[in-house]
Structures are given as C-alpha cells and as structure tokens.
C-alpha cells in the first residue's frame, strides 16, 4: 500500500524517549549483515539478512524509514514436529541523515539431531531486532519456539509443537501414568520472559523442567541431547522481546517415552515509532530465517522558482522549476491538473504546462511527499486576447494611421498585425486598449489580430480594418476660344482635370453642359456627346499632373450673343475631398 502520510522529520532522541525500556542483550557483533543501499522510485532500501549483528547509516536526503522485520522460525523435531513461526512486523521510525542503527538478524532455530535415540528437540528462532547505536530497543519481531523432542522407543510419543511468536509451546504427548509428556514453555511478554515448561510426571521419576525465557532478550540456543528419563522434559519459555525458547527433550521408559514440551514463542517490541504512523504486527508468519528491511523515504520536495511563470490558457509552454529533492517527481498545475513530459534532477524539473485558467500553485510529488504551496511556484494562465472594436476602422493604403484597438487580455502584447504578416508599428498596450500605427497595405479589408503570451485574438467583423486609397482632388478648368474659320464659325473648348493630390486619380468623368439646342463636334478621344451634354472619361492622373480633353461647339445655329458652357466633375476615384473646385464655366460674348 502507499504511505498514508509523509513521514515527519523527527530527531531520534525525542522519538526514543520511552521510559522504562531496558537495553537488549545482543550477541557479539559479527560481520555486517546489511547489503549496500539500493534506490528505486526515489526510495532507498537497505536489506539485512540472517547471520549475526551489524549496523547501518541513514542515507543523506532521506527522512523517516518504514522498517519490516521477520522473526525467525523455530527448529523442528526429528520426527517432523514443527517449530513455531516468527512474527511479521512493519513500523515507521523517524530518522536523521547520518544516524546509525544497530541490527541483529537471527537464523531459524536448528532442527533436532538426526539420531532418534536421544529424543532431541528443535532450537528456538534467534533474535531479530533493531536498536539505536546506544543499544536502546526500538523494534523486535518475536521468533518461534523449537519443537519438543519425541519420546525414545516404540511407540514414540511426539513432542509439542514450537510456539508461534507470542504464543506458548505445545505440550508433549506420553504414556499415562508411566511416561507423560512435558508441558510447553510460556510465551515471552512485554514485561517478562516466558514461563518454564514443566517436566512430565512418570512412574520412576519426573522429567526435567525447562528454563524460563530471558527478558528483555534471549536466543533460541542449541537443542540439548535427549536423556534417558522415562518422561518428557518441559519446553523452555520464549524470550520477552526476542527469540523463541527451545523445546524440551523427549524421555524414555522401557521401550517407549514421553515427548518434550514445545518451546515458547518470543514476544515482539514496538518503540520509538513516528507518532500516528501505522504499525502492522502479524504473529506466526515466518518459518525461515529472520530478515530486516529498511525503506528510507526521500525528504519532501520543495519548489523555489518557476520560469516562465506565465503561459497561454491552452497550455504547451515548456517550464523549468527549481527546488530540492525533486528526483522522480510528478508535477501538477493546480489540483488534479498534471503536467506532461516531466524530467527531474535533484534540483530542477522541466515539464510542459497543461491547459488551465487563472493563477495556480505548482506542486511536486515524490515518495517523500508533496511540496508546500508557495508564491515562488505560482503559475498564471494568460487569457487569449479578444478585440472588440477599432477606432478608426479604416485608413489609407500608405499606412500611418494611428489606430486604437479595444478589447480584453491585451496587456503584454508582442505583436499586432493588419492582415497576415503585416505588423503595426509603435505598439503600446494596456489590458483593454492597444494603440498602434497601421502599416501600408493594398486596398481592401484586413483582420486586425493581437498576439500576447496568451495566444492570438480571433478574426471577427469587429476587428476588421479597411484600407482605402488616398483621396485625389480634381480641380476642373474650362477654357474657350473662337475658331479661325469664317465660313463655319465655332468655339473651341478645352476641359482640363488637374489632380492636386495627394493620391493618384485612377479614373474620372467630367461633363460639359452646352447651351440648349447646341451640340459638339471634333470630340477628343474618350468623349461623347448626347444632346447638349459632352461627357469625357479620364484615365490615371498622377498627383500634380493634368489631363485635357477638347471639343468644338459650332455657332452656325446660334444667334449672336452670350454663350456659356459649364464643365463639372461628376465622378472620380479615389474620393475627391474638395467639391468647391469640381466645376468651371467659360462664357463667350
């Protein structure tokens, strides 16, 4: 199962302030029984196997350990009567990097000797324990008791089974009243060793009593050889906080004998654990050698910085975070919103921000826990900008118009374009307004879009800007001159379109209104006459240039007197900004 809570960093001295505990009597130190640390998934594991006593040092960068102990099983009798099983204990200890723990990892109790005539019992499982480096007890998994020896002869009465951790050994079987079995040794307890088993009564004499278990520790010891008692011996009591008792020897009476009592199981110890941490104790779980496994949890991660600390709501920003104890971390951008592509070293992580909104706390999670929230690890999702209106919404093709762009989410804009790939100049933005100078562009509508770290605004009719050609003012001029012919008198007219700018005239139409009943001849190209109206079409006229059209008005049908003709600009492109010079009149008398 996963750890219920991150282990708190506590000092060993405060955690071990459990009054009344007596130092364990440990066997002489042997070669180290603990393997080198192994790291997987951020958890450092040290495994200590059976064979004696040793010590281990808490690795750097860890805080707290979950320790698993398996008490050793008891040895079996020659006839197969089983020894008891050791306890399985899981508990959490506070640790400090560099702190030392001593361990003793006992073996399974020895089985009975192979020669059946001695009625030999099995030995109890040896001590499995963790202490401080000053021998203060912390954790002990009780070991199983040895099986009682079988009676010697035929029939051979079986001895009692060894007691499981925390339980009494079984009573031996025998022949009543001549050669009865011994009783099992009592279990070790938190305050005392187990009681001695009582030798079985018989016709000739009683079997030997077992010895009481030691407190706070006793090892299983070697199985004694059988004796030629008519009755079975009592089993040894199990140790308080330690190994199981050995079984009692079987007896002999004529051709038969009573079985010995089984050794009592040792008791377990739990002390100095983390307050509120779970403890699991399963009695009678292990029949083999003892074992101890330390699983050191890494220190909880911390986050001290994030770069960049803003990004678009759609996610996808590559983010670098700094901190401590980050190896193997997962990252969330707000509750339940995991980052992807996470890669971490002990002091930094890179990740791709997921989609999100608003300002969120980034948190790192490892087997050691989850980082605390902090302003230093806060990330703000920037909204996608929205353009709601333009003022003005049009301008000339040569650019230069200062445009106010209104909307939301505009602060921090990095670009404002008038059509794809056509950036504005002099960009300045607040959260709701940008001002910029429109660039040059061909005539027609374009979409204005704002780009911020939050993304680019969508095209919409409200964000459409229309490019128009610059206006071109046509100054109309009309002159008249009598013709030289005396036979067919006429007036010669010149109608001129002067382009005073600033733009280029792309097309224009001028009309001349003649006196009623008159007509026109000798029309210049592009001119037509309908009744008393002459219409002339003009092509491109550059700014500052002029184009003239001529026609004649015969005088044969006119009476002598005043002749007046008016020329007027009727249509032109681009727009003509000044109507005051759109007409001219020539009068002849």
Residue 116 pLDDT: 59
pLDDT at residue 244 tops 70: yes
pLDDT in tens, 74-85: 999 988 999 999
Query: C-alpha distances in angstroms, 392 versus 205, 395, 419, 463, 509?
Result: 122, 7, 16, 11, 30
Rounded CA-CA distance 181/174 in Å is 5
At 559, the pLDDT band (50, 70, 90 cuts) reads low
pLDDT at 270 over 80: yes
The CATH superfamily assigned to 472-588 is Agglutinin-like protein, N-terminal domain, N2 subdomain (2.60.40.2430)
Q: Does domain 386-468 have CATH number 2.60.120.10?
A: no
Q: What per-residue confidence (pLDDT) applies to 230?
A: 59
If one counts every other C-beta atom within 10 angstroms of the C-beta of residue 253, the result is: 24
* pLDDT value at 18 more than 50: no
Q: pLDDT higher for 256 or 450?
A: 450
In this predicted model, which residue has the larger pLDDT, 23 or 14?
Answer: 23
Could you count the other beta carbons within 10 Å of the beta carbon of residue 399?
A: 16
Integer-rounded Cα Rg, in Å, for the chain is 54
- Express as a percent the part of the chain with pLDDT over 70: 88
Query: How does residue 26 score in pLDDT terms, banded at 50, 70 and 90?
Result: very low
Q: Give 384-400 pLDDT, tens digit per residue.
A: 999 999 999 999 999 99
**Rounded to whole angstroms, how far apart are CA atoms 188 and 201?**
25
pLDDT tens per residue across span 469-501: 999 999 999 999 988 766 668 999 999 999 999
Predicted confidence band of residue 234 (pLDDT cuts 50, 70, 90): low
Assess whether pLDDT exceeds 50 at residue 380: yes
What's the confidence (pLDDT) of residue 562? Answer: 85
- Paired strand residues for 537: 509
Strand partners, 312: 382
User: What pTM does this model have?
Assistant: 0.63
Q: What average pLDDT does range 298-319 have in this prediction? A: 95
pLDDT of 446 strictly over 90 = yes
Mean pLDDT over 453-466 rounds to 96
Does domain 300-382 match CATH 2.60.40.10?
A: yes
CA distance 307 to 357: 18
Average pLDDT over residues 179-184: 88
Residue with the bigger pLDDT between 157 and 2: it is 157
* More confident of the two residues 342 and 41: 342
Mean pLDDT is highest, among 138-147, 196-205, 236-245, for 138-147
Nearest 5°: the CA angle 78, 83, 87 is 160
Domain ranges (residues) in the chain? 11-299, 300-382, 386-468, 472-588
Asked whether the domain spanning 472-588 has the same topology as the one spanning 300-382, the reply is yes
pLDDT greater than 70 at residue 20: no
pLDDT bin (cut points 50, 70, 90) of residue 249 is confident
pLDDT tens per residue across span 394-439: 999 999 999 999 999 999 999 999 999 999 999 999 999 999 999 9
Residues 92-100: what's their mean pLDDT? Answer: 95
Question: Which tens digits make up the pLDDT trace of 28-65?
Answer: 333 359 999 999 877 899 999 998 999 999 998 888 99
Q: Is the pLDDT of residue 313 over 80?
A: yes
Place of tokens 């056509």: 422
Of the listed ranges 130-134, 275-279, 471-475, the one predicted with least confidence: 275-279
| Percentage of the chain exceeding pLDDT 90 | 67
Provide the pLDDT for residue 497.
98
139 pLDDT above the threshold of 50: yes
User: How far apart, in Å, are the Cα atoms of 530 and each of 477, 521, 527, 564?
Assistant: 21, 11, 10, 18
Rounded mean pLDDT of the chain?
88
**Cα(371)–Cα(365) distance, rounded to whole angstroms?**
6
Least confident of 246-260, 312-326, 513-527: 246-260
pLDDT at 220 (0 to 100) = 59
DSSP per residue over 265-309, as a string? PPPPEE-SPPTT---EEEEEEE-S--EEEEEEEEPPPEEEEEES-
Reply yes or no on whether the pLDDT at 255 is more than 80. no
| pLDDT attached to residue 229 | 59
For residue 27, the model assigns a pLDDT of 37
CB distance 43 to 328 below 8 Å = no
**Residue 268 backbone class (left: φ over 0; alpha: ψ -120 to 50; beta: rest):** beta
Contacts of residue 579, defined as CB under 8 A and 6 or more positions apart, other chains included, come to none
Please say whether the beta carbons of 184 and 159 come within 8 A. Answer: no
Residue 10 has a pLDDT of: 31
């Amino acid at each position: 199962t996963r750890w219920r809570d991150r282990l708190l960093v506590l000092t060993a001295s405060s955690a071990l302030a459990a009054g009344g505990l007596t130092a364990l009597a440990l066997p002489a130190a042997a070669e180290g029984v603990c393997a080198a640390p192994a790291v997987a998934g951020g958890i450092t594991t040290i495994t200590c196997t059976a064979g004696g006593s040793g010590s281990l040092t808490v690795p750097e960068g860890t805080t707290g350990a979950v320790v698993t102990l398996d008490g050793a099983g008891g040895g079996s009798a020659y006839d197969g009567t089983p020894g008891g099983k050791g306890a399985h204990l899981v508990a959490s200890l506070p640790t400090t990097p560099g702190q030392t723990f001593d361990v003793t990892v006992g073996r399974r109790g020895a089985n009975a000797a192979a020669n059946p005539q001695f009625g030999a019992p099995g030995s109890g499982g040896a001590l499995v324990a963790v202490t401080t480096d000053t021998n203060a007890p912390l954790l002990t998994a009780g070991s199983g008791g040895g099986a009682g020896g079988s009676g010697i002869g035929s029939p051979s009465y079986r001895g009692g089974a060894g007691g499981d951790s925390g339980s009494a050994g079984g009573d031996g079987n025998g022949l009543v009243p001549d050669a009865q079995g011994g009783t099992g040794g009592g279990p070790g307890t938190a305050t005392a060793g187990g009681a001695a088993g009582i030798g079985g009564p018989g016709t000739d004499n009683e079997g030997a009593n077992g010895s009481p278990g030691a407190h706070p520790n006793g090892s299983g010891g070697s199985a004694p050889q059988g004796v030629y008692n008519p009755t079975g011996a009592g089993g040894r009591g199990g140790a308080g906080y330690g190994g199981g008792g050995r079984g009692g020897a079987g007896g002999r009476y004529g051709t038969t004998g009573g079985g010995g009592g089984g050794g009592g199981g040792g008791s377990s110890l739990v002390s100095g654990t983390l307050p509120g941490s779970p403890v699991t104790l399963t009695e009678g779980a292990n029949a083999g050698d003892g074992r101890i496994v330390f699983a050191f949890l890494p220190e909880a991660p911390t986050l001290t910085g994030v770069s960049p600390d803003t990004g678009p709501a759609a996610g996808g920003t590559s983010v670098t975070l700094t901190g401590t104890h980050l190896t193997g971390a997962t990252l969330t951008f707000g509750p339940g919103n995991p980052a992807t592509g996470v890669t971490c070293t002990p002091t930094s992580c890179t990740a791709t921000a997921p989609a999100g909104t608003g300002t969120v706390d980034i948190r790192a999670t490892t087997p050691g826990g989850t980082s605390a929230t902090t302003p230093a690890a806060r990330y703000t999702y920037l909204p996608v900008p929205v353009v709601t209106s333009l003022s003005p919404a049009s301008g000339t093709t040569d650019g230069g118009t200062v445009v106010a762009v209104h909307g939301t989410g505009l602060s921090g804009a990095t670009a404002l374009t008038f059509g794809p790939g056509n950036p504005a100049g002099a960009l300045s933005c607040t959260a709701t307004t940008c001002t910029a100078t429109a660039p040059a562009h061909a005539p027609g509508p374009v979409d204005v879009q704002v780009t911020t770290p939050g993304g680019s605004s969508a095209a919409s009719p409200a964000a459409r800007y229309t490019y128009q050609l610059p206006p071109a003012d046509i100054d109309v001029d009309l002159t008249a001159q009598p013709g030289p012919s005396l036979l067919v008198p006429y007036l010669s007219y010149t109608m001129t379109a002067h382009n005073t700018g600033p733009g280029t005239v792309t097309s224009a139409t001028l009309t001349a209104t003649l006196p009623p009943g008159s007509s026109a001849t000798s029309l210049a190209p592009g001119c037509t006459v309908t009744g008393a109206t002459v219409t002339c079409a003009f092509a491109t006229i550059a700014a500052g240039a002029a184009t003239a059209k001529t026609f004649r008005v015969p005088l044969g049908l006119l009476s002598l007197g005043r002749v007046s003709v008016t020329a007027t600009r009727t249509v032109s492109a681009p727009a003509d900004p000044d109507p005051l010079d759109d007409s001219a009149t020539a009068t002849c008398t």
